[in-house]
Structure 1
């Protein structure tokens, strides 16, 4: 949690008052700011509305980024909130945007109020309660995807209107392509055989950011740390990475991050949690994507997406100096920034739920991937995942 200075809080408060007052045409006064614990670069505070001529909201949430930060991520976040706010209430994934100021890098959002966080529920002793929460997680993802299928043109129009550019720069997509460029060299450096079919699976998964049959809106970081459950159900927070991509990426991301949150739980029980999530998601999207009712088809797609997320989180920890992949290879793959994988002017990847600096978490992710591949009868991927997990254990944990 960020420890905010009083000066920073006051400046954020005043910026929010200014944008709200301009929008309302009358003075808006905010009081009693409470730090909600943004990331190292983000200020997030809840405020009480002491004087408010245009709505009955008693509290609001203000999110502010440094004004010297590259603006594209902020434009994307505004576009994502605006797009999500237009959805029917039942399908809306999280808070509504009330106002924004691009110059001050300030967002004013509706307050979701108090509830229970997904990590709290997953870490509790009540397995039934946690299972219900995970099912609700999958259901909320499915509702969001079903409601936004076919809406990509509207989102892109909002993005262009805010940034003045038709180019859809997305850091996670670029990171995925960069990770793919490093795949063969890294595995060879770890003495793990590189099956051509698995490499092909990873390449296909990278394409899900820009192509795919099941494109829908996503807040993108749909892991447990960004989920609150309140009286209205599951609420997704943090739209910084929001945009359109193949919905299978979301489900696989949720599987990976959910299993990490349940690392102390028996693997067989973790599988039950994953199945509950996928079943709930399928129930919401089967009407628009009937092909995914075929569980063998869905399992193959989820495996490829899961491989991508597990590999990407691993790349962020690998010592890349020993990887047999040249800068030219990476640039040819479409990535111009060949510095640290965590260096980005468009957002801080350390903030992602997927990110971990704990090697034990990564080893467990490969073990979970191997079990999922075994269930899907993909012996080649299961074998590679076991070997890579063993190599990481050898290098990091012994």
Structure 2
């Protein structure tokens, strides 16, 4: 077993108040993703503990997930990521949320975070990459419902989260507000504008400052939309379970914070763009997911029930996500390695712009920015003639293929 077992046994024994023995501890290796590729996360371990615990250890699950520091060189090797997830799980457990694994124990010095094992249930990516459109649709609706419920549960609780997080290390709630997936949005904004201003045949980024300022203002002051955001909305970061509730539980909170709810929910129209199995969804499915999400969120965030207000807020957040993703376009002008999932990053950039343009047309807002992005995408299509079409997820491909608009 891994050498950290001794440290883990000491931690669990302190937590349970009785000696605990780890009987197995296996790294998370070679996870098969619908027969298409495998994923390995050796810093995540599934452990079983001695079942002969007395009453003092009755609350300790017999099977646990242990997360350790990522290896040096990994872009998330900084201990701050594990510290953030520690704060997130402690917070959600403390408020009685079952949307995530229950927090069990942590040892910052040893780099150990112990949580409930959600079990072997399917994750959403397997359904999206499968062949059953009804199962995929059902999984997506359950996902959207669970996400809305999680957000509603955490409305008005930012101080509780940051009280826990600040006890573990430095925090910057103001910077969290204007970040995407843990990275400040100002960097991608500046990179995108510099690229457009200097690359040949791209439209100059003029006349859009006010709209970009509005995007940042929406993020900086989310109002009732301020909720706990997981920060990594990927279809593999959840389990579909039969729990009598929404049927989905989330995990992987290394970039969690409190910010605008729609920075999480934007994945319902930008389907998981940072994940290996990125593709598109049929428009009617996106509409259904948005409806399911809004219904749950509006329970504690009534502004989400206002159609015009929601469309305006969603457009601003969609613009933020577009700036983040499209800011890498300069890298795709030359030779670049294909994404591990097999899709074209050029096509993803163009599809991202199209999604934002659809949101802007629906809301009638950010018209200057939308006009500029439309010209920008037209210029990129001339530079990238290989990025003309984007398929929907395999589960829906017998029904439709979504083409990037020309």
Common fold: TM-score over 0.5 = yes
For 1:201-257, what per-residue CA distance to the aligned partner results, in whole angstroms no more than 9, with x for missing partners? 433334455431110111111222312212221111101111100112111134213
1:392 equivalent to 2:380? Answer yes
Q: Distance in 2 between matches of 1:264 and 1:238?
A: 23
1:203 equivalent to 2:217? Answer no
When the two structures are aligned, how many residues end up with a matched partner?
352
Cα distance change of structure 1 residues 225 and 309 upon mapping to structure 2, 3 Å threshold: farther
For 1:91-121, what per-residue CA distance to the aligned partner results, in whole angstroms no more than 9, with x for missing partners? 4321011000101111111000011111111
Range with bigger deviation, 208-217 or 78-87 = 208-217
Displacement of 1:363 in angstroms is 2.1
Q: Distance in 2 between matches of 1:115 and 1:176?
A: 35
Q: Distance in 1 between matches of 2:254 and 2:52?
A: 27
Residue among 301, 304, 321 paired with 1:309: 321
Equivalent runs, 1:142-221 vs 2, <5 Å:
142-163=148-169, 165=170, 167-168=172-173, 170=176, 172=180, 174-190=183-199, 191-194=202-205, 196-197=207-208, 199-213=209-223, 214-221=225-232
| Number of the residue aligned with 2:103 | 97
For 1:352-371, what per-residue CA distance to the aligned partner results, in whole angstroms no more than 9, with x for missing partners? x9xx9722222222223233
Q: Distance in 1 between matches of 2:283 and 2:118?
A: 31
Structure with more of its chain in helix, by fraction: 1
Equivalent runs, 1:237-256 vs 2, <5 Å:
237-256=251-270
Displacement of 1:40 in angstroms is 8.0
Checking the alignment, whether the CA contact within 8 Å between 1:83 and 1:158 is kept in structure 2 is yes
Cα distance change of structure 1 residues 380 and 397 upon mapping to structure 2, 3 Å threshold: same
Checking the alignment, whether the CA contact within 8 Å between 1:179 and 1:311 is kept in structure 2 is yes
| Number of the residue aligned with 1:366 | 353
Displacement of 1:375 in angstroms is 3.6
1:21 equivalent to 2:32? Answer no
For 1:113-167, what per-residue CA distance to the aligned partner results, in whole angstroms no more than 9, with x for missing partners? 011111111222322222222221121111111111111111111011112x454
Equivalent runs, 1:330-345 vs 2, <5 Å:
none
Q: Distance in 1 between matches of 2:207 and 2:321?
A: 19
Q: Distance in 2 between matches of 1:44 and 1:159?
A: 22
1:76 equivalent to 2:84? Answer yes
Q: CA RMSD in A?
A: 3.2
Equivalent runs, 1:46-125 vs 2, <5 Å:
46-51=46-51, 53=53, 54-55=57-58, 57-66=61-70, 69-88=77-96, 91-125=97-131
TM-score of the pair, normalised by structure 2: 0.76
1:296 equivalent to 2:296? Answer no
Displacement of 1:380 in angstroms is 4.6
Secondary structure, counterpart of 2:299 in structure 1: coil
Checking the alignment, whether the CA contact within 8 Å between 2:67 and 2:112 is kept in structure 1 is yes
Q: Distance in 2 between matches of 1:179 and 1:50?
A: 49
Secondary structure, counterpart of 1:283 in structure 2: helix
Q: Distance in 2 between matches of 1:59 and 1:149?
A: 32
Q: Distance in 2 between matches of 1:127 and 1:84?
A: 32
| Number of the residue aligned with 1:332 | none
Q: Distance in 1 between matches of 2:139 and 2:304?
A: 23
| Number of the residue aligned with 1:335 | none
For 1:326-369, what per-residue CA distance to the aligned partner results, in whole angstroms no more than 9, with x for missing partners? xxxxxxxxxxxxxxxxxxxxxxxx99x9xx97222222222232
Cα distance change of structure 1 residues 300 and 107 upon mapping to structure 2, 3 Å threshold: same
Checking the alignment, whether the CA contact within 8 Å between 2:156 and 2:226 is kept in structure 1 is yes
| Number of the residue aligned with 1:281 | 293
Q: Distance in 2 between matches of 1:93 and 1:101?
A: 23
